Structure 1
Amino acid sequence: MTMTIQDLAAKYDLRLPRYTSYPTAPHFSQEVGPETYARWLGELDPATPLSLYTHIAYCEEMCWFCGCHTKITKRYDPVADYLDALLTEIDMIAGLMPARMGFKFMHFGGGSPTVLKAEDFTRLIRHLRDRFEMLDGAEIAVEMDPRTATEDYVKAMAEVGVTRASIGVQDFEAQVQEAVHRVQPYELVAQVVEWLRKYGITDINMDLMYGLPFQTTESIQHTIDRALALKPRRVSYFGYAHVPWMRTHMKMIPEDALPSVPERWSQYLNGSARFAHNGYVTVGLDHFAAPDDELALALNKQALHRNFQGYTTDSAPALVAFGASGIGSLPQGYVGNQGEIGAYKRTVRAGTPPITRGLAISHDDKLRRAIIERLMCDLGVDLETVAAEYGAKASDFQKELDQLSDLEADGVVIRDGSRLRVTEMGRPLVRAVCAKFDQYLNVGEKRHSQAV
């Protein structure tokens, strides 16, 4: 019997990681702390290109769908004090490296980077560029909340070399915006886009979400059409992860207004088709890019990567993260900064890297990470080829291949010898395929979001 979309949604709607890393963050432990991080930094090859991430851990208002680490403030004094601690951390971490190292990617996330005053954003980025060399062709990207973005801020972004802006939209329908406590009229977003282009920042991303309260397949189509009228270069189309046991503010969202699993699937599929109809290339699970955008070009070359910011062209072997809750990735393993802002600031000002958890990764972890990344990025993997790069064989994964039998029988994945290919129908379930190669996963854990 041929499985319907609803059947597949019901059968494989497991609670699964998003696989922005492997092993995933819930498996980090306190065994990796400040001393380990300091040693790992000192062991870096000075020629290694870096990716830098800076977390601005404040917003003016809490969006009830938010899964990020942030704190709400209407006053600027806490933000200014946090910035001071950030600059201290940047100096400390740069000083632990073997040389003044170069970066290919610099990303500002949050929270809301736009909560900073324009002059303070300028100060922050110049401080980073003093401590790290900006390599040729480097990308500098900033996440933006259109409610707090100003023309002065956008002008400052351009003056210090920002090349890409990512605008949080989520949805344009008033009822949905009110239900998730993020009210921002279409005209406000259009104004920010106009400012960006005025000052020469033309690589513009937009974040949209499905699965929010009161959304329907039809209403999302309207949101997508309005978003695409602004001609973004990339769009991320995330499914809302309702995890009120982890984020208590999500309890404010009316659960009876959340779409059912079949409706979520409909929103995902119809939204994805809408992007394709408008000429966008489907990238991985939930990103869409203009055909000549670097993300689409990397997909064609099978050179796409995935990190804590999602799908990326970032191939830097070391991601150094600054700020409360920032997560870094070095060749030796992962590190996570203190999430509580007060503790973060005290630790930094005491002269200690604010690492509270992490994970040293094994050779097997690196192999499985490579397999999962290719599945997430390319919707396919040649196990023999990837395994050979790590001195292993495809036959080492016979148990995992056997566990794919249900997914194979249901048309989610096709197996041809050592090659796996996720079908177009199976695209929304690629995380379920990846999970078969995850040695750490306890399937059904409620700390992860829905697979669809």
Structure 2
Amino acid sequence: MQSALAAKYGDARLPRYTSYPTSLQFSPDVDAAAYHDWLAEIPREKPASLYVHIPFCRSMCSYCACHTTITRRDLPIGNYLHMLRKEICLVSARTKAPLKIDHVHFGGGTPTIMRAKEMLALIELLHEHFDFASTTQIAIEIDPRTLEQEMAAVLGIAGVRRASLGVQSFDPVVQKAINRNQSLEQTMNAVSYLRRAGVDSINFDLIYGLPHQTVESCIETIKMALEMQPDRFAVFGYAHVPTLKRHQRMINEAVLASAGDRLAQAQAIAENLLAAGYCSIGLDHFARPDDNLATAQKNGQLHRNFQGYTTDACETLIGFGASAIGRLAGGYVQNEVFPGDYAKRIASGRLAIVKGYRLSAEDRLRANIIERLMCDLRVDIPALAAAHGFEHSALLDGNDRLAMLKSDGILETEGGVVRLRVEGRFLIRAVAAAFDAYLDVSTRSCIKAA
């Protein structure tokens, strides 16, 4: 029944809603000049977050959908870091004063591909140009196969306290099919290095729906992962998009899981994590009950951004590096995707922004609705509409997708409050899509100001 509903609503093809509107709506109409103005308008008293993108890996995992470049040499990485440092200086010079920083996230690629001294110098540069506090949270994504003890020690010295480790699957058959051989020992060593260095919050990224993956292999991966007692899990469904990511053509589609099998794998992972004492967070995260992510969800303070579920409530996100996306009061901006093009722009003394999106008042309302649905699995439409200065009726009346979801028993509505039923949780993106004006252009700008 559930797999039939997933197929009916096209859940596998819907956005993950880490932003609204999604990056598919970005255009060159928002350029470096707009970004320059938006940077100057950031209020000094409000905290901001930073995202730093390191787009390099030593080998290509065939499932990967990230913007990354494969290199065996260190020279391209060093050249890129030189331009990254220059961008940090260019951007910080355009703000009124050093911004107060709440969160910093290093993503990739493989951020720890750089040398330990390069990582330390990069974090020190951020400290020079931005206002860090003792409570500033620094997080990093890590490939356990390449993490060295020296790098882990430097991360601890630099104040990194949260690390997200790519695990995906411990099944050797699956690993071979996705070109990612990663032993249990490598992962255990990485966890040990990090904890000894003071990086005390560990997240494991897992994927279901991979080639040759089964419910049994998913359960076995969970059992092995639980031995290392991570604080969080992020569990994603594999997105097979070979037309967009050419290296995914290496994957034999005949051995990919069906929609029903994918759902069974996701449910098996969730059941085993819940049985182990983890709390379910939104769509695809799990956390220990004492983790601040679980606390935020309990208190209605959970948020969602490009890194997934987070406690980060900052309205401003500054993105650094090739393909990095930022979010400011005016809207979204994105840098040049390819490192070579990015480097040319920065070398010429220009900001690297090539596209973005200017948010309207209606966009902000819809974004707020979608975020609350994704985080709380419920949303009070009249209350949010009133807070944004709009009438709520057009969001609910004549909303055919919402009515169909209700008819199928996925959600319930009362007094304008939309609430997912427990059995409909796996279709949260389909519910969010009911408020996405870009999936049905005819509904855009149909809401009236109150």
- TM-score, normalised to structure 2, is 0.96
Alignment of 1:28-427 (within 5 A): 28-399=26-397, 401-427=399-425
What is residue 436 of structure 1 aligned with on the other side? 434
Mapped to 1, the partners of 2:133 and 2:27 lie a distance apart of: 34
Mapped to 2, the partners of 1:371 and 1:6 lie a distance apart of: 26
The code of the aligned residue for 2:246 comes to T
1:229 Cα deviation from its structure 2 partner: 1.4
Mapped to 1, the partners of 2:384 and 2:19 lie a distance apart of: 17
8 Å contact 1:104–1:136 — kept in the other structure? no
1:102 Cα deviation from its structure 2 partner: 1.1
- Between the two proteins, the alignment pairs up a number of residues equal to 440
The code of the aligned residue for 1:36 comes to A
Mapped to 1, the partners of 2:186 and 2:438 lie a distance apart of: 44
1:396 Cα deviation from its structure 2 partner: 3.0
Residue range with higher mean Cα deviation, 403-412 or 215-224? 403-412
8 Å contact 1:16–1:435 — kept in the other structure? yes
1:385 Cα deviation from its structure 2 partner: 1.2
What is residue 8 of structure 1 aligned with on the other side? 5
What is residue 448 of structure 1 aligned with on the other side? none
1:62 Cα deviation from its structure 2 partner: 0.6
Of structures 1 and 2, the one scoring higher in RCO (CA 8 A, sep 6+) is 1
Which digits, 9 at most, give the CA deviation of each residue in 1:345-375, with x for residues without a partner? 0100111110010000000000000000000
1:133 Cα deviation from its structure 2 partner: 1.0
CA 434–192 in structure 1, closer or farther in 2 if over 3 Å, else same: same
1:136 Cα deviation from its structure 2 partner: 3.9
What is residue 25 of structure 1 aligned with on the other side? 23
User: What SS does the corresponding residue of 2:63 show, helix, strand or coil?
Assistant: coil
User: What SS does the corresponding residue of 2:332 show, helix, strand or coil?
Assistant: strand
Q: Which runs of 5+ in 2 are unaligned?
A: 442-450
Mapped to 2, the partners of 1:252 and 1:264 lie a distance apart of: 20
1:47 Cα deviation from its structure 2 partner: 1.3
1:442 Cα deviation from its structure 2 partner: 5.7
Mapped to 2, the partners of 1:441 and 1:119 lie a distance apart of: 47
Residue range with higher mean Cα deviation, 400-409 or 27-36? 400-409
Mapped to 2, the partners of 1:352 and 1:439 lie a distance apart of: 34
User: What SS does the corresponding residue of 1:331 show, helix, strand or coil?
Assistant: coil
Identity level (%): 45
8 Å contact 2:208–2:262 — kept in the other structure? yes
The code of the aligned residue for 2:48 comes to L
What is residue 447 of structure 1 aligned with on the other side? none
The code of the aligned residue for 1:201 comes to V
User: What SS does the corresponding residue of 2:140 show, helix, strand or coil?
Assistant: strand
1:400 Cα deviation from its structure 2 partner: 5.7
Mapped to 1, the partners of 2:92 and 2:439 lie a distance apart of: 35
The code of the aligned residue for 1:170 comes to Q
1:59 Cα deviation from its structure 2 partner: 0.5
User: What SS does the corresponding residue of 1:357 show, helix, strand or coil?
Assistant: strand
Mapped to 2, the partners of 1:368 and 1:135 lie a distance apart of: 33
Mapped to 2, the partners of 1:277 and 1:401 lie a distance apart of: 37
User: What SS does the corresponding residue of 1:429 show, helix, strand or coil?
Assistant: helix
Mapped to 2, the partners of 1:403 and 1:397 lie a distance apart of: 11
Mapped to 1, the partners of 2:37 and 2:131 lie a distance apart of: 22
8 Å contact 1:337–1:357 — kept in the other structure? yes
Mapped to 2, the partners of 1:211 and 1:81 lie a distance apart of: 37
The code of the aligned residue for 2:181 comes to V
Mapped to 2, the partners of 1:88 and 1:138 lie a distance apart of: 23
User: What SS does the corresponding residue of 1:96 show, helix, strand or coil?
Assistant: coil
8 Å contact 2:396–2:416 — kept in the other structure? no
Mapped to 2, the partners of 1:399 and 1:412 lie a distance apart of: 18
Provide the aligned C-alpha RMSD in A: 1.1
The code of the aligned residue for 1:237 comes to V
